[in-house]
């Protein structure tokens, strides 16, 4: 049976102080205790290890399933067992509605030439891909509230949201001639009825891509006419800013091609994500108006904002999301 929002909420309120489950009673997967040293990943930074451990805790205590294995049959605490996912494809998602949207959206993306790693989406609890679905797959059901919430948190004039999708790919020919995409997009109208566009990049523990990509199409858009300083391309091409640079250029290209009056890149990450902060700072330094088209929102602020709305359903989502992704026993 798919985990409901109420189950996750009840767990947050009642079960966090209970002793660990008997791991031998877990369904599917390997019966390895969630905090066993056997499950540690030697290459993890301390930060990644913390969140991997959180996912292991959630897997055992909330989902009630054992440890899954990677393609080399190595047990990974953040992986759901393949058999468990085959039985319940919605395990990695907070509500049945999010799971259903994920299924439909995945088919759409693949049918329209996009790429999507299904194993990562459905089994990897540490991945930002299912996390993104757990955010925008929920809020797309409530566009009026989402408009108010995002407008306040991003300090933008958002009167109405007209579209919100996860795993966004350009319509038609790619304006940059590459495979740059957004984890999510939000299309909106201002109070003056001007169309706007948010290209959203979500991060959990994954860093920005360290590869350096350079094309004439990138440099042609990195101009003062698009708000960039002279010579900005020579700086932004470096690996610390390369991915976010391409995200920004895609926003500019889409804005021009589809007639959006406003366009912004939004980086949605944990508050302590130094890599994301460095990328944002590096890109902003090359803009004539630093915050003009690059916005930052922490996952913590998003959840606090949702809980602060005072609406039972949104508060339940916020608490469930906080317990899943922020910390054990999270409270706003």
pTM here is: 0.89
Q: Count each helix (H run) and each strand (E run) in the chain, helices first.
A: 13, 7
- Range in 19-28, 152-161, 265-274 the model is least confident about: 19-28
Burial (Cβ within 10 Å: 0-12, 13-18, ≥19) of residue 81:
buried
What are the structure tokens assigned to 296, written together?
Answer: 């930052």
Residue 271 pLDDT > 80: yes
Looking at per-residue confidence, does 209 or 264 come out higher? 264
Domain spans, the chain? 5-127+302-326, 143-300
Average model confidence (pLDDT) for the chain?
Answer: 89
Q: Averaged over 124-149, what is the pLDDT?
A: 98
pLDDT tens digit sequence for 42-74: 999 999 999 999 999 999 999 999 999 999 999
Residue 29's pLDDT band (boundaries 50, 70, 90)? confident
pLDDT tens digit sequence for 278-332: 999 999 999 998 778 999 999 999 999 999 999 999 999 999 999 999 985 555 5
User: Would you state the torsion angle of the CA atoms of residues 22, 27, 31, 36, taken in this order, to the nearest 10 degrees?
Assistant: -70
């Amino acid at each position: 049976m798919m985990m409901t929002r109420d189950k996750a909420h009840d767990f947050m309120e009642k079960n966090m102080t209970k002793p660990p489950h008997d791991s031998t009673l877990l369904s599917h997967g390997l019966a390895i205790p969630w905090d066993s040293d056997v499950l540690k990943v030697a290459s993890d930074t301390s930060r990644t290890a913390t969140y991997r451990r959180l996912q292991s805790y959630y897997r055992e205590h909330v989902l009630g399933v054992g440890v899954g294995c990677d393609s080399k049959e190595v047990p990974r605490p953040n992986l759901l067992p393949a058999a468990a996912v085959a039985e319940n494809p919605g395990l990695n998602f907070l509500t049945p509605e999010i799971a259903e949207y994920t299924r439909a959206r995945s088919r759409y993306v693949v049918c329209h030439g996009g790429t999507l790693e299904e194993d990562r989406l459905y089994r990897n609890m540490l991945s930002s891909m299912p996390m993104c679905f757990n955010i925008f797959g929920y809020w797309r059901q409530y566009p009026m509230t989402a408009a108010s919430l995002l407008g306040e948190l991003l300090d933008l004039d958002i009167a109405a949201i007209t579209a919100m999708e996860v795993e966004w790919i350009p319509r038609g020919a790619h304006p940059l001639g590459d495979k740059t995409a957004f984890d999510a997009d939000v299309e909106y109208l201002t109070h003056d009825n001007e169309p706007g566009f948010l290209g959203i990049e979500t991060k959990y523990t994954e860093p920005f891509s360290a590869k350096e990509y350079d094309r004439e199409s990138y440099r042609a858009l990195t101009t003062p006419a698009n708000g960039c300083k002279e010579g900005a391309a020579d700086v932004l091409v470096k690996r610390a800013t390369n991915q976010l640079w391409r995200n920004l250029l895609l926003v500019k290209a889409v804005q021009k091609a589809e007639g959006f009056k406003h366009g912004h890149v939004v980086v949605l990450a944990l508050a302590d994500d130094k890599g994301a902060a460095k990328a944002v700072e590096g890109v902003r330094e090359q803009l004539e108006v630093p915050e003009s088209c690059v916005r930052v929102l922490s996952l913590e602020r998003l959840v606090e904002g949702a809980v602060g709305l005072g609406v039972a359903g949104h508060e339940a989502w916020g608490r469930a999301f906080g317990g899943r992704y922020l910390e054990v026993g999270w409270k706003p």
